[in-house]
Structure 1
Amino acid sequence: MIYLDDLEVGTETYFGSCEVDRDEVIEFARRYDPQPFHLSDEAAAKTHFGRLAASGWHSCAMVMGVIARKVVETEQAGLGSPGIDELRWLKPVYPGDTLHVSSKIVEVRPSRSKPEIGSIRSATTVTNQDGVPVLTFTSIVLMRRRPV
């Protein structure tokens, strides 16, 4: 099990990757972000996207899937997240892209009021198959401390 006490500022982690599937892009958009450039090649061609683009929220959901699978696989003592900061969609994400997710720990902080837990802040970067950053954010994760 990986606890808060095992983590250090500067530690970098590669979480993995995922393929962006056209049918999933359209289905997500139909349900959660029904803007024309997420639903139709023709509508997207009339925008700065130039072609069908994934919703930024879908991109975030795909990234969360990559991160969550790695956290479960490596048995981290995570307790969820109170949120994220500085979310930026830098470039469009298109069907056929491969997203790669990595992060760098920028803060490890034991809780002052609850000594059994603490939090980390990580700068997360998502790149496409060409190494171009498409999404960045700072995540905040609550974690258990190593039992005494």
Structure 2
Amino acid sequence: MAREHFEDVTVGETREFGDRDVSREEIVEFAGQYDPQPFHTDTTAARESMFGGLIASGWHTAAMTMELLVTNVFEGSAATGAVGVDELRWPNPVRPGDTLSVRTEVLDTEPWNDRLGLVRSKTTTHNQNDEPVMSMVGLVLYERRDPE
């Protein structure tokens, strides 16, 4: 497959990919290191929380989403990195045993400078029941094939 550059990205383009399983162990391990709130680290405390059980940190959900994006979109492309994320939301929690998938839609593209172009994409992560668990608009820079 040819390396995807800024000029190859089309507004309205959508992609779907995923099937990433989430385990209790990784939820607790991630939270223990980065977000040690009881509803992420302690099964008993989590049962008594407003969530009624153990849930993944939103930051863990973002990290798992990023893993899927890198593997399925950015790897092998001319993407050079992101300059930000807008509208980050976690509408439903991720629980042990969930399977995550991602949908992306290119919202807009614009030249960034003579070497790079900016791609705005809506990313929505879903669980196995097609319930959204995270959404965001990523702002990713891609190399331009034909710099002006």
- TM interval, short-chain normalised: over 0.9
AA in 2 matched with 1:102? R
Consecutive unaligned residues of structure 2, counting only runs of 5 or more, are: none
Aligned residue for 2:63?
61
Paired position in structure 2 for 1:127: 126
Matched, 1:77 2:78: yes
Which residue of 1 is the match for residue 91 of structure 2?
90
Moved over 6 A (4+): none
Q: Which runs of 5+ in 1 are unaligned?
A: none
**Alpha-carbon distance in 2 for matches of 1:109, 1:13:** 20
Q: Give TM-score scaled by structure 1 length.
A: 0.93
Q: CA deviation at 1:69?
A: 1.1
What TM-score results when the alignment is normalised by the length of structure 2?
0.93
* Contact 1:13–1:103 (CA under 8 A) maintained in structure 2: yes
In the TM superposition, what is the alpha-carbon distance from 1:86 to its structure 2 partner?
0.5
Q: CA deviation at 1:71?
A: 3.0
Identical pairs, percent = 43
Distance, in Å, in 2 between the alignment partners of 1:85 and 1:15 is: 21
Post-superposition CA distance 1:89-129 (Å, at most 9, x none): 00010010001111100001112xx2121110001111100
3-state SS in 2 of match to 1:82: strand
CA contact (8 A) 1:37 1:44 kept: yes
Q: 1:1-148 to 2 correspondence within 5 Å? A: 1-73=3-75, 75-111=76-112, 114-147=113-146
Determine the C-alpha separation between the residues in 2 that align with 1:110 and 1:72.
18
Deviations 1:59-94 (A, max 9, x none): 100110111111354x21001001100000000100
